[in-house]
């Protein structure tokens, strides 16, 4: 029940965008400003606030993040290959993101703190930051092609990406103990709070313009990988490392179990690559997570939370 009650607001944001488009129809171009706001302001603000509150990482943290990064990379490559194999028109990069990019920004920290208390804030934030860097790098590499020039361009784009620049900037300020105060901090909080509603509202606008969204075989495989295989692999790989730290272990498993992030749609829309596939994956993945995430929460509460 806890899992469903926390997921429900995301459906409301999507539904409001869907209704807004149906009542007051707008073109794709009219939505660009909203997508730009999410991509360049709201999401970077959310990233910055999350990292600032988490503090500098330790050696143990880096070991954990290395394992989570390997698992996520493996899921990206697997679902990208399987998605393209079963759906010839599917973009491999989008398929990879749908199978590996969890909704760790909007849902992860809230669910983790609800289950494990304030101590889960640090692992949630650090996993969030690590996954962002890994997945953006994979996205850039997958969309650049196999040539040396394409790979170099991908790395340059990854370093210059607003999300990556924000993470780097926040880590530097955190290392030196620098923080924003007063109006700047209040503005950052406001922008970060707007990230989830605006991204999901924009997703609803796009869904309302689509005709006959369906779940293809490739998308089905990707969502099974995301909602089932990802948390299972995370649990198996992290147990030897974190069996004595249940909060870190539970947070990593929980965040791996979350549905595809709305950022998958934001990235696909901004790059003009299979935005419809991304919209379908986020929508149907979020719907399916209303069943799978509560089951994961039930497992964690039975075996990790004593």
Structure tokens of 234?
């995370």
Burial status of residue 113 (CB atoms within 10 A of its CB: 0-12, 13-18, 19 or more): middle
**In this structure, what token pair is assigned to residue 178?**
């620098």
Question: What distances in angstroms separate CA 107 from CA 2, 178, 293, one per listed residue?
Answer: 12, 27, 11
| 20 within 8 A of 209, measured Cβ to Cβ | no
The closest of 226, 248, 246, 259 to 301, measured between CA atoms, is 246
Q: Are 115 and 250 in contact (CB under 8 A)?
A: yes
Query: Between the CA of residue 239 and those of 67, 231, 248, what are the distances in Å?
Result: 11, 12, 10
* Residue pLDDT tens, the chain, 306 long: 555 676 677 778 888 998 999 898 877 777 888 888 888 898 888 878 877 776 666 656 778 889 999 999 999 999 988 876 766 667 888 999 999 999 887 677 777 877 888 777 778 878 887 888 788 878 877 776 656 666 666 667 667 778 778 878 887 888 888 878 788 889 988 998 888 788 878 878 877 776 666 677 878 888 999 999 999 999 999 998 888 888 889 999 999 999 898 788 878 877 788 888 888 888 888 888 888 988 898 888 887 765
Q: Hey, where are the domains in the chain?
A: 2-23+31-303
Give the contacts of 232 (CB within 8 A, at least 6 positions apart): none
CATH T-level assignment (fold) for domain 2-23+31-303: Na+/H+ antiporter like fold (1.20.1530)
| C-alpha span between 74 and 294 (Å, rounded) | 25
């Amino acid at each position: 029940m806890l899992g469903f009650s926390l997921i429900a607001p995301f459906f409301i944001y999507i539904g409001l965008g869907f209704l807004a488009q149906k009542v007051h129809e707008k073109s794709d171009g009219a939505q660009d400003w909203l997508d730009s706001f999410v991509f360049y302001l709201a999401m970077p603000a959310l990233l910055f606030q999350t990292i600032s509150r988490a503090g500098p990482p330790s050696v143990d943290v880096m070991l954990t993040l290395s394992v989570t990064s390997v698992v996520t990379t493996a899921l990206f490559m697997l679902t990208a290959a399987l998605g393209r194999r079963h759906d010839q028109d599917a973009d491999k990069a989008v398929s990879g993101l749908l199978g590996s990019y969890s909704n760790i920004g909007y849902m992860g920290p809230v669910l983790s703190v609800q289950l494990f208390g304030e101590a889960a804030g640090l692992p949630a934030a650090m996993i969030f930051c690590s996954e962002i860097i890994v997945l953006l790098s994979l996205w850039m590499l997958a969309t650049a092609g196999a040539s040396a020039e394409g790979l170099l361009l991908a790395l340059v784009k990854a370093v210059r990406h607003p999300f990556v620049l924000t993470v780097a900037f926040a880590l530097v300020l955190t290392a030196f103990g620098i923080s924003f105060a007063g109006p700047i901090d209040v503005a950052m909080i406001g922008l970060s709070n707007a990230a989830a509603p605006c991204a999901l509202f924009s997703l609803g606008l796009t869904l309302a313009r689509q005709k006959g969204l369906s779940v293809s075989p490739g998308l089905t495989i990707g969502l099974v990988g995301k909602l089932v295989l990802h948390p299972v692999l995370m649990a198996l790989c992290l147990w030897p490392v974190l069996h004595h730290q249940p909060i870190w272990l539970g947070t990593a498993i929980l965040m791996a179990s979350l549905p595809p992030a709305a950022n998958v749609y934001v990235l696909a829309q901004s790059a003009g690559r299979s935005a419809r596939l991304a919209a379908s994956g986020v929508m149907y993945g979020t719907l399916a997570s209303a069943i799978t995430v509560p089951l994961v929460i039930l497992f964690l509460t039975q075996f990790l939370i004593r």
